[in-house]
Amino acid sequence: MKLLELILIRNVRYNYDLKIL
Give pLDDT tens digits for 1-21: 699 999 999 999 999 988 877
Amino acid type, 6: L
| pTM (2 d.p.) | 0.39
CA torsion sign for 10, 12, 13, 17 is: positive
Q: What is the pLDDT of residue 9?
A: 96
Q: What is the DSSP-derived secondary structure letter of residue 2?
A: -
d(CA 3, CA 9): 10
Q: What is the pLDDT of residue 1?
A: 66
